[in-house]
Amino acid sequence: MDDPSQTARRVVIGFGDAANLPEADDLPTESMPLNMGPSHPAMHGTVRMVLEVEGEKIRSVDVQIGYLHRCFEKEAENATWTQIFPYTDRLNYVSPMLNNVGYALAVEKLLDIDKKIPERAQFIRVIVGEISRITDHLTCLAASAMELAAFTVFFYLMKAREWLWELLEELSGARLTHSYVRIGGVVADLTDDFCPKLRDILRRCRASIADADKMLTSNRIFRDRMDGIGIITRDDALGWGLTGPVGRSTGLAYDVRKDHPYLVYDRFDFDVPVGSKGDNFDRYAVRLEEMRQSMRILEQAMELLPAGPVLIDDARVALPPKREVYNTIESMIAHFKLIMDGIVVPPGEIYSFTEGGNGELGFYIVSNGTGQPWKCRVRPPCFANLAVLNKLLPRLFIADLVPTFGMINMIGGECDR
Amino acid sequence: MPFSVYTSKLAQAVNWARKFSLFEYPFVTACCGMEFMALWAPKYDIARFGAEIPRFSPRQADLMIVVGTITERQGPVLRRIYDQMCEPKWVIAFGVCASTGGFYQNYSAMPGADQVIPVDVYIPGCPPRPEQMLDALVLLQERIQKGEGHSQVVLRAERGYVAPDAAIRPDGETKEGAGR
Amino acid sequence: MAKIILDRLAQQFVAGEILETGSQHGNEWARVAPAHWRAVAQFLRDDPVTALNMFIDLTCVDRLGRTPRFDVVLHLYSVDNKHRVRLLAGVPEEDPSIDSVVSLWPGANWFEREAFDLYGVRFAGHPDLRRILMYPEFVGHPLRKDFPKEGRQPLLRRLPGSVD
Amino acid sequence: MADERQAPSAPRANVKMVIDGQACEFPAGLTILEACQRVGSKVPFFCWHPGLSAPAVCRQCLVEIKGFPKPVPSCYTPVADRMEVVTGSPKVLDVRRQMLEFTLLNHPIDCPICDKAGECMLQKHYFDWDARVARNDGGKVRKAKVVDVGRHIVLDQERCILCSRCIRVCNEVARQPDLVMAFRGDRQLLTTAPGQRLDNPYSLNTVDVCPVGALTAKDFRFSMRAWELWATPSVCPGCATGCNIEIHASRNLIRRLVPRLNSAVNKYWMCDDGRLTYKHVADNRLAAPTVAGAPARWDAALAEAARLLGQARDKSPATLGMVLSAQMINEDLFAFSRLATECLRTDRVYLAGSPEGWCDNILVSADKNPNTTGAKLIGGPTLRTAADLQRDIEGRVVTALLLVGEPDALGPLESLQTLVAVSSHQNPPVAAAQVALPLAMWAEVDGSFTNRQGKVQRLYSAIAPAGQARPGWETAVRLARALGAAWTYGEAKQVFGDVCAKVTLMSRADWGKPEMPVQLRFANSRG
C-alpha cells in the first residue's frame, strides 16, 4: 500500500481538503494475518481460520479443519455392522439419534429388509429423531446467542435441552450418546409414561423457545449482527451443496423428509420453512421455526403411534431374547454368530440419505458380503456448509465472523469425522 | 520449630484460597463439550464450587479442562496452550477420549491427553455426566488443599516438546513412517 | 424416474465413454471412463432433462486387488426433478489422477481435497490440492486399505512414562 | 478345494445329469455332493471331508432325486446318467432341519467356553440353514467333558456329534486306528480303542477336521478365541516337504499353524511336529544388533561388520568364509551368496543346517531344513558342506567367517580371528561374534522356499519382525553398500526376480499376488 497518491492524501488530511478525504471503507491500511482457533472462545467446534484482515475487514480466509478427525471410516471398516452405531452417535453429537436412524436405514436397504421394519419401530425412530433435531437447533441457537453475549438465552435454551435429554436418557440410558437404534428396529420399546412426559416437556419447551424468540428476534444488537450478514444465494446453495437450514435459508426448499419421505414422514402434516434473503437472520429464523414444526410432527406421531413389536423378527438380523440365549443351544449359536461374525450384509453399494440436523446426512456404504463394511462413508452436511465460509467471509468484518460461523453450525465430529 | 509451622499454615491458607478460586480454561474439542455446556447451565451449576468463570485466555487460567478427543493434529496446540498457563496449574481430563483415547484407537486420535500434558484428574465416561465433573472438581480441590500436584512432578520430569525429527515429504506420497 | 438419467447418458455418450450403468436398491449409477469424467458431469448438470445441478458428495473407494484400484465416486442431485445419480470412474494405483469438477461445482473443492488427503487421488485442475483432514507433515494416505489402522505419526514428543 | 479348479465339463466327462434344473456333465464315479459343489449349488455336510472316505452318518447332505422314494445322502451316492437332483426342495430342507435338530438336542451350551466357537460347522450350518428357535429346553445327556486322549489332544465327549471324521483321519491319513465309537443311541460316544492312545504323528489333524469343539489341541485350547486370529498363507519350515499352511496370529504373536490345501504337496494335512515349529519364532530371539556383545545401533553395527569383513577380505580372501543355512529363504540365500562372490570375493560358501531326523512315507521327510533344494540350486556346485566347514575351521584354513542363519555344528570358534553373525536367535556363535545382526524369520518376511520336489512356494509376512530384526537380503544389501557395491534391491520381489533370472531351474517360478492377512471372524467358518 505504498501508492504515492495515497501517502499524498494522508498528508493533506487536516488541511480542509474534505472532498478528497478517503471514505472509511477505502482507508489505506496494511493487511495483517490473523489466526482464529483452533481453540477459540467464539468457536464451538475446533476449527482454525487463518484470516487476512485489513483493519477490521476480512480480506481473505483459509478455513482449516481436521482437528477432530477421529477416523470414522477407518474404525467402521474394522468393526461389525452393529458396532458402528456408537461411532455414528459421535458424528453429529448434538443429534445422535438422527445419525443412528440414517445409518440403520442405509444398512437395512442393503439387507433388503427396509420394508419389513415394524411400524411401531418406524414411529419411534421418527419421534426420537425429531427430539434430536430439536436439541440440535436448541444447542446451535444457544451457543450462537452466547457468543453474541446473550447469556440469558443460553440458559433458557439449555434448560429446554436438559428436559429433552433426560427423557431420552430414560429411554436409552444415555444422556447424549444413545446408540438406541438397531439394524431392524430399535433396541427397546418406549417407556410407559414416555408420551405424557414428552407432551408436558414440549409444552415447556414451547414456552422457553418463545422466551428466547422474544429476547433475540426483537433485540437490536442481535438483529444488527444477523440481518443482511453473510448472504448466500440459491445458486450458491446448489453449487456448494448446501442443505438443511443453511440451504433452506436461501429459499431452496429442499428437505429430504418432504421430497423423499423415509420412515413414515409422509403421514405427517408439517411445513418446511424457507428463508428469503439467505442471511444469518434467515438461518436463525429457519431453525426457530423448524423446532416448532418438529414439535408438530412429534404430537402427530404420538397420536398415530401404533402398537406392536419394535424389532424385526429375523433371526439373522435381530438378537434372540436373553432367556433363550442362556438356555438353548440354538439361540446361543444365533447370538454368537450375530455378535462375533456380525450381521452378514450381501455385497452391494448404497447411498442412503436422510435429513440430519444440519442437512442431508448421506451414508454411502460398500459391502463385500462379510460381517463388516468394506467402506462406510458419511456425507457430512456441515462439511459442505462450512466450506462456503471461504466464499462468505471475505469483505465481512471480524465481528461478523462469529454469528456467521455460529449460524453455519459446524459440528466437529461430523465435519472432520 | 515455629518458623516451619508458620509456613505450613501459610501454605494451607494459600491452598485453601486456590482451591476455591479455580479459573478454568475449557479446552473443548468434541462431544463432551455438549455435556460441558450443561455444566454451566442451570441444573448442574458449577458456580457453586467457585469455578464458574471460564477464562478463555490461558494466561488467566490455572485449571485446564481437556474436554473431548485430542488428535495428533491437536497435540501441539494443546501443549502450547498448556505452556502458556501460569503455575501452579492443574489439568482435568474430561471423558475417556481425553483420558485414554477411548474407542478411537487409530492413526489420528491421540491415546489420551496425558501423552503430551500432565493430567491430575481423569474422568471416565463417554461422555461423563456433569455430576462426575463436579466430583472431579471436588477431588482436585482436595488435592490442592493437600498441596499434591501430580502435574508439577511430571512437568519437572519432562523435556518440553520438539518438532518431529522424521523427514517429511511435502507431497505426502510415500508410506514410510506409517509403521505397522 | 431416475431411469431418465441413464437413458439420457446412453443417448448422449458412446459405449467407450460410459462403460457400464446399473441400478441397485433404487440408486442409479454409471461407470464413466476417467477421460470423460468432467464432460459427463458437465452434461448432466447443464442438460435440461437431467438438470443434476446440485452437488451432493464426492469420495473415493479403495477396491484393493482390483485394477484399476481406486474408484472416484460422485453423487449428484436435481432439485427440480428430484432425482439423483452416482458416477464412478476407475483410477489406477500407478497414476491416481482424474479431472477436477471444482469448476463445475465450487463445493467439490473440499471433497476433492479430502479424497486426495485420504486416498491420494490427484485432481487435475484443482485450485489448491492440499491435505484437509490430516496435517501437512503426515505421510501416506490413511484410508487406503494397506494403511495400518494405528499408523500414528505424532507431531509431538510424548511425555516420559506415557503408554501408547 | 482342488476339484473346483477343474472346469465343470472336463474332457473325460461322460455322465449327463440335471442339478437344480441345470444340465451338466461329470466323470463317472463322482459323488453327487462333489457334482453339486462344482456347479455351485450349496449342500451342507458334517461327516464328509474332501480328503476322506464318506460314511454318510450325519445325513446333512441329503438331496432329492427324481424317482427315488426318499432323500439320499449325496456324499455317498455316485452320479448316474439322466439323474435329476434337487438340493433345495422343501422336503429336503425339512429333513435336514430335523436331523440338525437331533444333532443339537444333546449339544451342550458351550459356545462361550468352546475353542471351536467362531469356526464351528455346527454353528455355521444351524445359522445358514435353520436359524429357528429351539422347541425344547429340557435336560441334555451328560458325558465326560475332559478326556485326555493323547499327547496333544483333549476330548470333550458331550460336544462330539459323532461324525467319525477323526476316526477316518487316524485310519486313512495316519494309518493307525486309534479312535473308535462305543455304545449306541444317545449314549454313543467317541473314545480311544482299548489299550490305545491318540498318539500318532498326525493326531492334530483330528482337531482341524472336527466340525465342533470335541477334539481340542492342548497347545492351543483356551489361548485365543478363533475369530480374533488373523490368517496368513505360508509354508511349514519343519522339513523339506514344505507343507502349505496358514499362520494364525494375533497381537503380533503366532498362536497356531493349520494346514492349507495343496493337492500336490500335503493335501489337507500336516504333521504334529510341523505345527509346533511356530514356538521357535517367539523364543530366545536376537532382538538388536550387538558389537562385541554390547547392543548397538544398526548403522554402527553394519559399519563395524563391513570394516571387519573388508579387512579380512583385503588380507586374504581365501581365508574368508561364509556360512549359509538351509533354513533361510531363497532371497536371503541369493543375496548373501552374491555378497560372497561380488563383495567378499570368496568362493568359500558353506551350507549348514539342522541335522537329519525321523521320516515316514506320508509327509515327514528326513531332511529337517525347508530350503535345502533352494540353497543347493542357488549355491551351485561350489557349495561346500558343514563337514568341510568343521575341517576348514579346525585346520585354520578359514580364519574369518560371516555366519548367516543358524548352523547346528561348527568347529572351535575361538580359532577364528573374525566372526560376524547374522542370526535370528541368541546362540553360542552370536555370543562369540564381534558383530551380530538380528535376522527376521520365515513368518516375519515375504519370501520363498523350494521344497524337496523343487516347488518354489511363497511365504507371506504374518507378524512384524522381533525387535529390530530385518530380512536377511536387506542386511546383505546394506553390507554390500557398506563394502562399496551399488545394489538397488528395494523389496524381496526384486531379489526373487534375480533368483529366477540366474537360477535356471527356478526360472519358471512366480512371485504370486499380494495377500493381506484376513481376520477369521470375517472369513468363512472352516472345517
Find the length of chain C. 164
Distance CA C53, CA C141 (A): 31
Secondary structure of residue D154 in the 3-state scheme: strand
Question: What are φ and ψ of residue C123, in 5° steps?
Answer: -115, 110
Given a cut of 70, whether residue A25 has pLDDT beyond it is no
Question: Can you give the pLDDT at residue D411?
Answer: 65
How many other C-beta atoms lie within 10 A of the C-beta of residue C5? Answer: 25
Question: How near does any CA of chain C get to the CA of B3, in Å?
Answer: 37
SS3 A88: helix
Return the CATH number at D23. 3.10.20.740
Q: Give the per-residue pLDDT at A218.
A: 86
Closest Cα in chain C, distance from residue D226 (Å): 21
Strand partners, B93: B66, B122
* Chain A residues touching residue D112 (CB < 8 angstroms): 332, 336
Please determine, for residue B89, whether its predicted confidence score (pLDDT) is greater than 90: no
The candidate with the shortest Cα–Cα distance to D25, out of D36, D37, D10, D40, is D10
Say what the pLDDT of residue A26 is: 66
- Nearest chain B alpha carbon to C149: B106
Residues D101-143: tens digit of each pLDDT: 988 888 998 889 999 888 888 998 898 888 888 887 678 889 9
- Give the HSE-up count for residue D382: Cα atoms under 13 Å, Cβ half-sphere: 10
A334-343, B47-56, D320-329, D337-346 — which is least confidently predicted?
B47-56
Cell 533352494 -> residue:
D374
**CATH code, domain carrying D112:** 3.30.70.20
Whether residue D178 is found in the same domain as residue D326: no
State the pLDDT confidence band at A20, using cuts at 50, 70 and 90. low
Q: Which residue of D has its CA nearest to A371?
A: D522
Range of the domain at D168: 108-121+136-223
Cβ pair A239:C55 closer than 8 A: yes
Q: Do residues C117 and C133 lie in contact, with contact meaning Cβ atoms separated by under 8 Å?
A: yes
Per CB-CB distance under 8 Å, the chain D contacts of C146 are 516
User: Under an 8 Å CB criterion, which residues of C touch B?
Assistant: 120, 131, 133-142, 146-164
- Are D70 and D112 part of one and the same domain? no
| Domain CATH for D379 | 3.40.50.740
ipTM: 0.81
Query: Looking at residue A363, what is its pLDDT?
Result: 93
Instruction: Please tell me whether residues D80 and D141 are part of one structural domain.
Output: no
pLDDT over 50 at D191, yes or no:
yes
CA of A413 to nearest chain D CA: how many angstroms apart? 28
CA distance linking residue D280 with residue C151, whole number of Å: 28
pLDDT confidence bin for C57, thresholds 50/70/90: very high
Q: Which of D176, A235, A92, A70 is nearest to C104 (CA)?
A: A235
Does residue D320 form part of some domain? yes
D271 inside domain: no
d(CA B130, CA B127): 9
Provide the mean pLDDT of chain D. Answer: 88
Q: Which CATH number fits domain A72-415: 1.10.600.10, 1.10.645.10, 3.60.15.10, 3.40.50.720?
A: 1.10.645.10
Q: How far is D44 from chain C (nearest CA, A)?
A: 30
Q: Which chains touch D (3 or more CB pairs under 8 A)?
A: A, C
Q: Which residues, in sequence order, are CB contacts of B171 under 8 Å at separation 6+?
A: none
Name the closest residue on chain A to residue C58, using Cα atoms: A379
Angle at B129 between CA B124 and CA B134, to 5 degrees: 90
Cα gap D471→D404, rounded to integer Å = 12
Q: pLDDT tens across B29-83, in order?
A: 888 888 888 887 777 877 777 776 777 788 888 888 898 899 998 888 888 888 8
Query: Measured between CA atoms, how close is C138 to chain B, in angstroms?
Result: 6
Final residue belonging to a domain, choices D223, D244, D279 = D223
For residues D321 and D453, membership in a common domain is answered with: yes
Q: What distance in Å separates the CA atoms of residue C114 and residue C117, rounded to the nearest whole number? A: 5
Work out how many CB contacts closer than 8 A connect A with B.
Answer: 93
Question: Which one-letter amino acid corresponds to residue B109?
Answer: A
Give the 3-state secondary structure of residue A124.
helix
Close Cβ partners of D380 (under 8 Å, ≥ 6 residues apart)? none
Q: Tell me what pLDDT residue D6 has.
A: 46
Lowest mean pLDDT among A119-123, D203-207, D508-512: D508-512
Most confident option among A63-67, C9-13, D152-156:
D152-156
* D145 shares its domain with D174: yes
Residues D65 and D199 in one domain: no
Nearest CA in chain C to D517: C146
Label residue D354 by pLDDT band (50, 70, 90): confident
Q: Does residue A9 surpass a pLDDT of 60?
A: no
A-chain residues within 8 Å CB-CB of D109?
326-329, 332
| Domain match, D362 and D465 both | yes
Looking at the structure, tell me whether residues D45 and D116 fall in a common domain.
Answer: no
Does D158 share its domain with D193? yes
Across the interface, of A320, A337, A341, the residue whose CB is closest to D133 is: A320
Q: Calculate the average pLDDT of chain A.
A: 87
CB contact under 8 A, D111 and A324: no
Of A326, A372, A282, the closest CA to residue A78 belongs to A372
Q: Does B168 touch chain C (CB under 8 A)?
A: yes
Look-up: residue for cell 442437512?
A359
With an 8 Å Cβ cutoff, the interface of chain A facing chain D consists of 315-316, 320, 324, 326-334, 336-337, 340-342, 370-372
SS3 call for C50: coil
Q: Helix/strand/coil (H, E, C) string of D53-85?
A: CCCCCCCCCEEEECCCCCCEECCCCECCCCCEE
pLDDT at position B153: 53
Question: Contact B34/A46, CB-based, under 8 Å?
Answer: no
Chain C: closest CA distance from residue A69 (Å): 6
Same domain as D144, residue D65: no
Chains touching chain B, criterion 3+ CB pairs below 8 Å: A, C
pLDDT for residue B176: 37
Reported confidence tier of residue B161, pLDDT bands at 50, 70, 90: very low
**Alpha carbons A417 and B69: distance in angstroms, whole number:** 12
**C160, pLDDT greater than 90:** no
Instruction: Please determine, for residue D234, whether its predicted confidence score (pLDDT) is greater than 90.
Output: yes
The reported pLDDT for the residue numbered A136 is: 92
Chains with 3+ CB–CB pairs under 8 A to A are B, C, D
**Which C residues 86-115 touch A at CB under 8 Å?**
86, 105-107, 109-111, 114
Express each pLDDT in D69-97 by its tens digit.
899 999 989 998 888 999 989 999 999 99
D342 three-state secondary structure? helix
Alpha carbon of C40: minimum distance to chain D alpha carbons (Å): 35
| CA proximity to A411, closest of A108, A47, A57 | A47
Above 50 in pLDDT, residue C68? yes
- pLDDT mean over D309-322: 87
Q: With a cut of 80, say whether residue C149 has pLDDT above it.
A: yes
Contacting B with CB below 8 Å, chain A residues are 38-41, 44, 46, 66-71, 74-75, 86-87, 90, 93-94, 139, 142-143, 154-155, 158-159, 161-162, 165, 175-177, 412-413
Name A416's Cβ contacts closer than 8 Å, sequence gap at least 6: A65, A66, A67, A68, A69, A70, C133
pLDDT the model gives residue B57: 82
β-strand partners of D153: D217
CA–CA separation, A206 and A163 (whole Å) = 12
Question: Which residue in D has a C-alpha nearest to residue C148's C-alpha?
Answer: D516
Mutate to test the interface with A, among C1, C57, C79, C147 (most CBs of A within 10 A): C57
The residues in D 465-524 lying below 8 A from C, measured between CB atoms, are 513-514, 516
Q: Looking at beta carbons, which residues of chain D come within 8 Å of C65?
A: 513-514
Compute the nearest-CA separation of B167 from chain C (Å).
9
Q: How far is C63 from chain B (nearest CA, A)?
A: 18
Which of D343-352, D403-412, D478-487 shows the lowest per-residue confidence on average (mean pLDDT)? D403-412
Q: Domain total for chain D? A: 3
From B161, B168, B176, residue closest to C156, measured CB to CB: B161
Residue D208 in domain: yes
- β-pair type (B90-94, B63-67): parallel
Smallest Cβ distance to C55: which of A241, A353, A377? A241
B169 pLDDT band, cuts 50/70/90, is: very low
Looking at beta carbons, which residues of chain B come within 8 Å of A70? 30, 69, 71, 104, 106, 108-109
Contacts of B176 in chain C (CB under 8 A): 139-140
Which pLDDT belongs to residue D524?
Answer: 58
Residues 33-52 in C contacting A (C-alpha not used; CB under 8 Å): none
User: Nearest-CA distance from A417 to chain C in Å?
Assistant: 9
CB pairs under 8 A between C and D: 5
Q: Is the pLDDT of residue D247 over 70?
A: yes
D114 and D62 co-located in one domain: no
Quickly state the pLDDT bin for C161 (edges 50, 70, 90): low
DSSP D425: B
Residue A3 scores a pLDDT above 60: no
Whether pLDDT at D409 is above 80:
no
Which residues of chain A does B106 touch, with a Cβ-Cβ cutoff of 8 Å? Answer: 70-71, 74-75
Task: Compute CA distances B174 → A370, B177, C65, D463, whole Å.
Answer: 30, 8, 20, 22
CA distance C94 to chain B (A): 12
Residues D214, D160, single domain; the answer is: yes
In the prediction, which pLDDT does B8 show? 58
Residue D275 lies in a domain: no
Q: Write the residue in A41, A71, A176 that is nearest to B35 by C-beta.
A: A176
Give which of D287, D302, D362 is closest to D482, Cα–Cα: D302
Please indicate if any CB of chain C lies within 8 Å of the CB of B112.
yes
